[in-house]
Amino acid sequence: MTALDNIADVERPVMHDAAQQLGLDTTGSRLISASSRLIWHLPVDRVALTITRPGSKTADDIGAEVAAVRSASAGGVRTPPLLAEPIELADSRFALPYRWIDGRAFESTDWPAGVVEAAKLARCDPEGLRRLRWPTDWPDPAWEPLLGQPLFTEISGRVHQAEQAVDDLLRVDNLVLCHGDLQPANFLVDEAGDPWLVDLEYACLTPPGWDAAKIILLADRFGDPASYDDLLRAWGELNPRDLASCVLAQEVQIVCWLLRMARAGGSRVEEESRARAKTLTNRHRRWRHLSG
């Protein structure tokens, strides 16, 4: 059995409870992802049933995601719609029934169409959407044993600089909706060859260059996309100084997310989190995908 199979065995009762409350058929159900949250494919009703991990989200978090999804859909963005209102489960968990989209994994050749879809978010109605929030528990003292004192001190300074940069960037009137976690895994290409944006878990209002900055990071740190100059045009004219600040802040954010994951265990995550922290100031050093 695979690790995903083991998780599915443990989590299946929770999925059945959620599906029953939502009136969904679980025949042929299969767990397809178990990262920040669990995603089940329910083929009979063509549903991607997303279930949060215990205590990882609040009702306000779920409300913010729902608002972002609805704004994106109303703005013409290809993103799977919610088929019913989210429900709260035991252990501070939530279930969100999204429409299942048949398709294939995103490939490097899909980037031109993918960024066009992502850039549509910036033109969606921002009314009532939540602003970007920098985590209040960063830097976490629990990172010090993992990093060692000198590196922890350096990273802590970078975190405070990034937090200040974000505060400055948010003091504008032209905040726009962004995806917040653009990466190949959060695109799906349907049978017609059109890209869909999935997993708007971190969608929020940000400075205009926030999602564009993530494209720069993906190119510089992971080599996918291979280049970004042409892709950034999808967002129109961006302020170069603000874009650079978005890049620096998100680079720190990515390292901090991984350090948070490392606390939950796994030598591979710990190793990569240290490697990224050590090379945070060296843009020429590539980072590895955890699945690679």
Contacts of 70 (CB under 8 A, 6+ apart): 82
| pLDDT higher than 50, residue 88 | yes
Q: 232-249: per-residue pLDDT in tens?
A: 999 999 999 999 999 999
Which residue type occupies 128?
A: G
36 and 117 assigned to the same domain: no
Rg (alpha carbons) of the chain, rounded to whole number:
19
55 and 170 assigned to the same domain: no
In terms of Cα–Cα distance, which of 224, 202, 198 is closest to 102?
Answer: 198
86 and 173 assigned to the same domain: no
90 and 171 assigned to the same domain: no
In terms of Cα–Cα distance, which of 58, 57, 50 is closest to 79?
Answer: 50
Q: Per the domain annotation, does 284 fall within a domain?
A: no
Q: Give the per-residue pLDDT at 292.
A: 47
Q: What mean pLDDT is predicted for residues 79-97?
A: 98
Q: Per the domain annotation, does 55 fall within a domain?
A: yes
Helix (H) or strand (E) holding 144: helix 144-147
Q: Per the domain annotation, does 144 fall within a domain?
A: yes
113 and 250 assigned to the same domain: yes
186 and 246 assigned to the same domain: yes
Q: What is the CATH number of the domain that holds 188?
A: 3.90.1200.10
**Percent of the chain topping pLDDT 90:** 93
Domain range spanning residue 45? 3-100
Q: 185-204: per-residue pLDDT in tens?
A: 999 999 999 999 999 999 99
Q: What mean pLDDT is predicted for residues 34-59?
A: 97
Determine the Cα–Cα distance for residues 158 and 251; give it in Å rounded to an integer.
Answer: 10
In the chain, how many domains are there?
Answer: 2
What value does the mean pLDDT of the chain take?
96
Last residue of a domain, one of 100, 116, 134: 100
